[in-house]
Chains A and B, each alone.
Chain A
Amino acid sequence: DAMVIQNPRYQVTQFGKPVTLSCSQTLNHNVMYWYQQKSSQAPKLLFHYYDKDFNNEADTPDNFQSRRPNTSFCFLDIRSPGLGDAAMYLCATSYGTGVDTEAFFGQGTRLTVV
């Protein structure tokens, strides 16, 4: 059974129209991450939540926001998607803060901007 679930798997949005991607987990992990993976590139961390504490990466554009209403759910909001935001968005979870922590990834949402 899937432990990190991302919906939808594929999302098409219009240029400039706000879009929300969702992630849920059944692992009860305290950390949730959002990664952006552009075509043929490595995943890049956008931000993460440690419990309710939001941690933004320094180079994450302001256009990207996130919400975590409870332990199980986390949302990625793109306020005004541009063509350059087309990518696979991967949600991941982990338990604990150790450098050895294993992250569990969802199947990703592939975002297309038209």
Chain B
Amino acid sequence: AQKVTQAQTEISVVEKEDVTLDCVYETRDTTYYLFWYKQPPSGELVFLIRRNSFDEQNEISGRYSWNFQKSTSSFNFTITASQVVDSAVYFCALSEMGRGAQKLVFGQGTRLTINP
């Protein structure tokens, strides 16, 4: 069965610190996609990144970077120079094929609080 584990339930740091959110997944599929979503207090899930199982290149987007390591089944997310606006719940998710459409299996989420 597909499973996503985010071991860190809550993280609290001071603004400008770097912070890494961990994500470990389990799947028997050879082709799969991993996602990160951000859920601010307003409630919607905001798409951050998608990574396919064949692409292990790290990705950087501004202050955000992602480290995908297939050997350890991990897809970690780092925020550099964190800001108060980064405070949110972050979900890692694994995509599997449902009946005719995608199904996202989410981790439990990490609540990130950035303190001024």
Q: Which residues of A contact B (CB under 8 A)?
A: 4, 9, 31, 33, 40-45, 48, 50, 53, 55, 88, 90, 92, 94, 97-108, 110
Contact = CB atoms under 8 A, between A and B. Distances in A.
B34 to A, nearest CB: 10
Contact of B95 (A9, A42, A99, A108): A99
B97 interface: yes
Given A42-B91, A100-B95, A101-B95, A106 B102 contact: no
Contacts of B108: 41-42
A100 to B, nearest CB: 5
B106 A43 contact: yes
Interface string B93-109: 00111111111101111
Contacts of B42: 107
Contacts of A40: 109
Interface in B61-116: 91, 95-104, 106-109
Contacts, number: 78
B43 A94 contact: no
Interface residues of B, number: 28
Given A55-B99, A103-B47, A105-B44, A42 B106 contact: yes
A94 B99 contact: no
Contact of B98 (A9, A43, A55, A100): A55
Contacts of B101: 31, 33, 48, 50, 55, 94, 97, 101
A100 B97 CA distance: 10
Nearest to B103: A45
Given A88-B43, A110-B43, A103 B102 contact: yes
Contacts of A55: 98-101
B31 interface: yes
Contacts of B44: 4, 90, 105-108
A40 B103 CA distance: 20
Which of A40, A88, A94 gathers the greatest number of chain B CB atoms within 10 Å? A40
Given A42-B108, A55-B99, A55-B100, A105 B91 contact: no
